[in-house]
């Protein structure tokens, strides 16, 4: 028994070491750093308590980043999940060229975000970019998609949805494939409509997948900023500054590591809160047996 | 007495011996270098490093660390973790922030003899404008440029303008750009008159030129004060805004730097404000005759310098510092500076380089290569203060707010001033 415990811990050790070194220790260190001032030169940084957080509250750019990020999350998460589900349902049917269609839906996921951002920069190019060229065919004018404060954030949302929906589709597709076919046959015998079957059988059976996808979508909404860095660098006038981009800029452009640490703690706090909600509240409801 | 002196001499000799041994053992230097354009530039630098090794036996290894801001981030991170390069090519305008980080060693502290001082005096003064702080010299000009206009000569002819007479004043520029802006019958613009970059990292550079054109410098030499809310600065902002709002010769909102060269090459834009460093690329790719001209000013042409200098890090050993400085001197010698300029389009850093045969031949072949340096006498240093990137960001946010029409020029510049004052307060010593 004791021997087994030791053995179990030894087997867990590699994963534990990695987790501790790259997740738990950095989290603790960030928390500690957020209570100290930024170090300048060789002088040690003084303890300042919550002063960094008060500075954060005073910074209008931080609030705008938070606001932007909330809107960004609200816009990207449901859209990409619904789109993923629709695409999965579509390519789950027997139709000609199905493999090709699946491939096409999945393609954006295989591209690195940096490449995606560069492609979309061209799509959004004013005057002769893809969108403006199409709009011009219908007599429309010019749009400075990325340079206009009112369209820049929606433009970022579209890129994120385009990139992510295909990834989530794979999970839905896998879940649909494992769904027993006799359920459908039974429903057909009962004379249930397709919509009814979808609503009463398919969707509830997909709930665990939806929870998993939702968790990923939330994380991505706060984690992926590559396209922001490539396409707008948070501009114009902070219209596309997301929380993580704010952290990156404060930490690595301004070298104000203390403020960056406290903003990171806020970000971690938000993530922890949503994770607790997802697993605690939603998680209990999804297990359909 | 005599004995004591010889003892002292002997001691000194013994103490100095390890230093000499160390100096002889510098075999390898590493420096970080930003590749903004890629490919050919890396090959040129590699060539210089090989040639330097053949002459001196010192291996110099360039590390291509991405674009300017990535290089800055990587160099600082590496040095803070104790494993940095010995020197690096970084933004000239970062000087105050880098000095504040306490990681640089001044050229004066590495050791400058009379010969070395003459060498430093040989650079264009405009390029040394961002090299001094706290009474010392901290960097050596290397990859330098100024902002210039590139213009499409065919478009000029097409609009009934004389391609040989580029406007020199704001009024003249607005009029010419108006003629160059072409609309189809539905009112859609098919060619813009002029474009300049307003995205983060570039807006402050564009604006530095505008302010200089109104004859306003944006900061003091010590980098502790900015002059954003001065009437002339506001006038400069108002002119930039008027190009879209009143003259309709440039698009509403912000134009991004990476988009400028494709816009110009596609014929979408007749005039762009760009760096002299872009010349080789345009020579390569433009399918129409183009010209290069000084930036028009309120009354006469004025511009701003840009680019990167070589900085030396304190973390290097004394011998490594000396060897790094030696490389800097070697690579900025007139012949090499001329060769560098001819291959890249950057402006050679010293007048002496323009006296070399290489440069004379090159300018005879590509007349545009001689244009940039003629505007150095009317060029100002780049905006350079403490907390530089933070002030850049504040200024850029407000410029963008103004270009998007959500703030008036006076509001935008007033906000930029008060926010920057708050950031710079700790650096003001009275």
Residue % of chain A over a pLDDT of 70:
97
- The answer to the question of residue A78 being in a domain is yes
Average pLDDT over chain B, rounded to whole?
Answer: 89
- Is A136 part of any domain? yes
What are the chain A neighbours of B401 within 8 Å (beta carbons)? 149, 236-237
Q: Which of A77-91, A229-243, B32-46 has the lowest mean pLDDT?
A: B32-46
Q: Is residue A36 part of a domain?
A: no
Dihedral (CA of A72, A74, A77, A82) sign? negative
Distance to chain A for B41, nearest Cα, Å: 22
Tokens read off for A122: 């061209």
In this structure, what are the phi and psi dihedrals at residue B350, rounded to the nearest 5 degrees?
-130, 150
- Spatial separation of the C-alpha atoms in residues A82 and A94, rounded to whole Å: 21
CA distance B100 to B103: 8
The per-residue pLDDT for B176 is 96
What is d(CA B128, CA B307) in angstroms, rounded to the nearest whole number? 12
What does the pLDDT look like over B157-210, one tens digit per residue? 999 999 999 999 999 999 999 999 999 887 888 899 999 999 988 999 999 999
pLDDT in tens, B190-200: 899 999 999 98
Give the span between the Cα atoms of B325 and B301, in whole angstroms: 36
- Residue A33 resides in a domain: no
- Residue B17: the pLDDT is 45
What CA dihedral angle connects A118, A122, A126 and A127, to 10 degrees? Answer: 160
Q: Which residues of B146-159 are buried (b: 16+ CB within 10 A; e: fewer)?
A: bbbbbbbbebbeeb
Nearest CA in chain A to B256: A147
Contact A149 B97 (CB under 8 A): no
Could you give the CA distance from residue B370 to residue B372 in angstroms, rounded to a whole number?
A: 6
**How many residues appear in chain A?**
289
User: For residue range B320-366, what is the model confidence (pLDDT) as tens digits?
Assistant: 999 999 999 999 999 999 999 988 888 999 999 999 999 999 999 98
Task: For residues B335 and A86, give the distance between their C-alpha atoms in angstroms, rounded to a whole number.
Answer: 65
Classify residue A270: in a domain, yes or no: yes
* CATH code linked to domain B14-145+307-380: 3.40.190.10
> How close is the nearest chain B Cα to the Cα of A42, in Å?
8
Nearest to B102 among A41, A149, A252 (CB): A41
Nearest-5° angle of CA A163, CA A251, CA B429?
150
Give pLDDT, residue B245.
94
- Whether the pLDDT of residue B14 is over 60: the answer is no
Q: Tell me the pLDDT tens digit for each residue of B376-385.
A: 999 999 999 9
Where residue B241 falls among pLDDT bands split at 50, 70, 90?
very high
Residue B221 pLDDT: 87
Residues of B in contact with A253 (CB under 8 A): 69, 73, 389-390, 393
Task: Specify the higher pLDDT residue, A288 or B19.
Answer: A288
Q: What is the pLDDT of residue B411?
A: 95
Whether residue B38 is predicted with pLDDT greater than 60 in this model: the reply is no
Report, as an integer, the average pLDDT of A28-38. Answer: 90
Q: pLDDT of A111-154, one tens digit each?
A: 999 999 999 999 998 888 899 889 888 877 788 888 888 899 99
Q: Where are the alpha helices (DSSP H) in B38-168?
A: 40-56, 68-80, 95-100, 107-110, 114-121, 125-128, 153-158
**Domain count along chain A:** 1
Give A117's contacts (C-beta < 8 A, 6+ positions apart). Answer: A159, A226, A227, A229, A230, A231
Three-state DSSP class for residue B306 = strand
Average pLDDT of the residues of chain A: 89
Which of A62, A152, A235 should be substituted to probe chain B, the one whose Cβ sees the most B Cβ atoms within 10 Å? A235
Residues of B in contact with A256 (CB under 8 A): 390
pLDDT for res A42: 61
Assess contact for A278 and A211: CB atoms under 8 A. Answer: yes
pLDDT at residue A82, rounded to an integer: 94
β-bridge mates for residue A163, sequence order? none
Burial class (CB in 10 A: 0-12, 13-18, 19+), A162: middle
**What is the rounded distance in angstroms from the CA atom of residue B125 to the CA atom of residue B131?**
10
Please judge whether A142 and B198 are an interchain contact, meaning their C-beta atoms are less than 8 angstroms apart.
no
| DSSP 8-state assignment for residue B347 | B
Task: Please identify among residues 48-67 of chain A the ones whose CB lies closer than 8 Å to any CB of chain B.
Answer: 61
Q: Is A133 on the interface with B (CB under 8 A)?
A: no
Do A236 and B406 lie within an 8 Å CB cutoff?
no
Q: Cα–Cα distance between A1 and B79 in angstroms, integer?
A: 50
Question: Strands B136-137, B132-133: parallel, antiparallel or unpaired by DSSP?
Answer: antiparallel
CA atoms within 13 A on the CB side of A289: 2
Between residues B40 and A197, the one the model is more confident about: A197
Chain B residue numbers with beta carbons less than 8 Å from the beta carbon of A132 are none
Q: Which two tokens stand for residue A169?
A: 């589709």
pLDDT at A189 over 70: yes
User: Which fold is adopted by the domain B147-305+382-427?
Assistant: D-Maltodextrin-Binding Protein; domain 2 (3.40.190)
Average confidence (pLDDT) over A176-193: 86
Question: Which residue segment(s) compose the domain that A207 sits in?
Answer: 55-286
Distances (CA, A) of B117 to B42, B108, B114, B122, B322: 30, 9, 5, 9, 15
pLDDT (tens digit, 9 = 90+) per residue, A71-121? 999 999 999 999 999 999 988 887 788 888 888 888 888 999 999 999 999
Bond into A236 cis (ω within 30): yes
pLDDT classification of B19: cutoffs 50, 70, 90 = very low
Query: Min CA distance, B110 vs chain A (Å)?
Result: 20
What does the pLDDT read at residue A46?
85
B367/B153 Cα distance (integer angstroms): 15
Domain ranges of chain B: 14-145+307-380, 147-305+382-427
- To probe the interface with B, which of A253, A256, A258 has the most B CB atoms within 10 Å? A253
pTM, full prediction: 0.84
When mean pLDDT is compared over A47-51, B95-99, B408-412, the highest value belongs to B408-412
Q: Which CATH number does the domain housing residue A95 bear?
A: 1.10.3720.10
| Whether B153 contacts B290, CB under 8 Å | yes
Q: Which residues of B fall within a CB distance of 8 Å from A38?
A: none
pLDDT band of residue A288 (cuts 50, 70, 90) is low
DSSP state of B255: P
Nearest-angstrom CA–CA distance, B354 and A189: 90
Give the phi and the psi of residue B408 in degrees, each rounded to 5: -75, 160
**Which residues in chain B have their CB less than 8 angstroms from residue A40's CB?**
100-102
Q: Chain B interface residues facing chain A, Cβ-Cβ under 8 Å?
A: 69, 73, 76-77, 97, 100-102, 186-190, 192, 198-201, 251-256, 258-259, 262-263, 266, 268, 387, 389-390, 393, 396-398, 400-401, 403-404, 406
Nearest 5°: CA angle at A246, between B417 and B424? Answer: 30
Q: Give the nearest chain A residue to B187 (CA atoms).
A: A141
User: A186 CA to chain B: closest CA distance, Å?
Assistant: 59
């Amino acid at each position: 028994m004791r021997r087994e415990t030791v053995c179990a811990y030894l087997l867990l050790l590699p994963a534990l070491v990695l987790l501790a070194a790259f997740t738990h220790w950095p989290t603790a260190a960030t928390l500690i750093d957020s209570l100290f001032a930024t170090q300048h030169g060789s002088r040690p940084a003084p303890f300042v308590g919550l002063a960094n957080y008060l500075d954060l509250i005073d910074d209008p750019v931080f609030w705008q980043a938070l606001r932007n990020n909330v809107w960004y999350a609200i816009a990207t998460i449901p859209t990409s999940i619904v789109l993923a589900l629709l695409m999965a349902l579509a390519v789950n049917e027997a139709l000609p060229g199905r493999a090709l269609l699946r491939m096409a839906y999945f393609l954006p996921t295989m591209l690195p975000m940096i490449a995606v951002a560069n492609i979309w920069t061209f799509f959004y190019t004013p005057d002769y970019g893809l969108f403006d060229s199409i709009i011009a065919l219908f007599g429309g004018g010019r749009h400075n998609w990325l340079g206009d404060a009112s369209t820049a954030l929606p433009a970022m949302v579209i890129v994120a949805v385009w990139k992510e929906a295909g990834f989530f589709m794979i999970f839905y597709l896998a879940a649909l494939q494992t769904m027993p076919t006799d359920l459908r046959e039974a429903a057909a015998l009962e004379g249930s409509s397709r919509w009814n079957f979808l609503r009463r059988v398919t969707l509830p059976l997909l709930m665990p997948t939806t929870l998993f996808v939702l968790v990923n979508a939330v994380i991505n909404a706060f984690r992926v900023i590559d396209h922001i860095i490539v396409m707008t660098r948070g501009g114009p006038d902070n219209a596309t500054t997301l929380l993580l981009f704010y952290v990156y800029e404060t930490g690595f452009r301004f070298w104000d590591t203390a403020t960056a640490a406290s903003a990171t703690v806020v970000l971690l706090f938000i993530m922890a809160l949503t994770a607790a909600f997802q697993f605690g509240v939603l998680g209990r409801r999804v297990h359909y047996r | 007495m005599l004995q004591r002196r010889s003892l002292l001499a002997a001691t000194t000799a013994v103490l100095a011996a390890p230093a000499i041994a160390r100096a002889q053992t510098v075999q390898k230097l590493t420096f970080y270098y930003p590749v903004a354009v890629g490919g050919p530039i890396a090959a040129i630098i590699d060539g210089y490093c090989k040639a330097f090794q053949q002459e001196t036996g010192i291996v110099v290894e360039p590390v291509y660390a991405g674009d300017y801001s990535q290089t800055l981030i990587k160099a600082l991170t590496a040095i803070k973790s104790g494993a940095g390069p010995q020197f690096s090519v970084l933004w000239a305008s970062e000087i105050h922030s880098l000095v504040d980080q306490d990681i640089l060693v001044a050229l004066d502290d590495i050791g400058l003899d009379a010969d070395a001082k003459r060498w430093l005096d040989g650079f264009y003064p405009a390029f040394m404008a961002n090299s001094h702080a706290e009474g010392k010299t901290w960097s050596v000009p290397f990859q330098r440029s100024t902002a210039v206009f590139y213009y499409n000569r065919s478009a000029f002819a097409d609009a009934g303008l004389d391609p040989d007479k580029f406007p020199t004043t704001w009024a003249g520029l607005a009029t010419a750009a108006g003629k160059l802006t072409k609309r189809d019958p539905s009112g859609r613009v098919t060619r813009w008159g002029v474009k300049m970059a307003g995205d983060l990292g570039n807006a402050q550079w564009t604006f530095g030129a505008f302010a200089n054109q109104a004859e306003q410098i944006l900061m003091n030499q010590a980098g502790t004060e900015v002059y954003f809310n001065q009437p002339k600065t506001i006038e400069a902002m108002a002119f930039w805004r008027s190009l879209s709002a009143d003259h309709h010769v440039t698009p509403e909102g912000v134009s991004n730097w990476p988009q400028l060269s494709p816009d110009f090459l596609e014929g979408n834009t007749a005039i762009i404000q760009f760096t002299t460093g872009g010349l080789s690329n345009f020579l390569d790719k433009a399918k129409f005759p183009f010209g290069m001209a000084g930036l028009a000013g309120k009354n006469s042409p004025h511009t701003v310098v840009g680019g990167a200098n070589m900085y030396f890090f304190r973390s290097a050993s004394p011998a490594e510092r000396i060897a790094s400085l030696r490389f800097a001197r070697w690579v900025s010698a007139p012949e090499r500076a001329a060769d560098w300029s001819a291959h890249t389009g950057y402006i050679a850093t010293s007048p002496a380089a323009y006296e070399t045969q290489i440069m004379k031949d090159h300018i005879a072949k590509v007349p545009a290569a001689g244009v940039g340096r003629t505007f150095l006498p009317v060029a100002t240093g780049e905006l350079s203060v403490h907390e530089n990137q933070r002030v850049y960001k504040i200024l850029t946010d407000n410029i963008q707010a103004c270009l998007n029409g959500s703030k008036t020029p006076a509001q935008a510049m007033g906000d930029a001033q008060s926010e920057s004052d708050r950031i710079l307060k700790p650096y003001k010593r009275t």
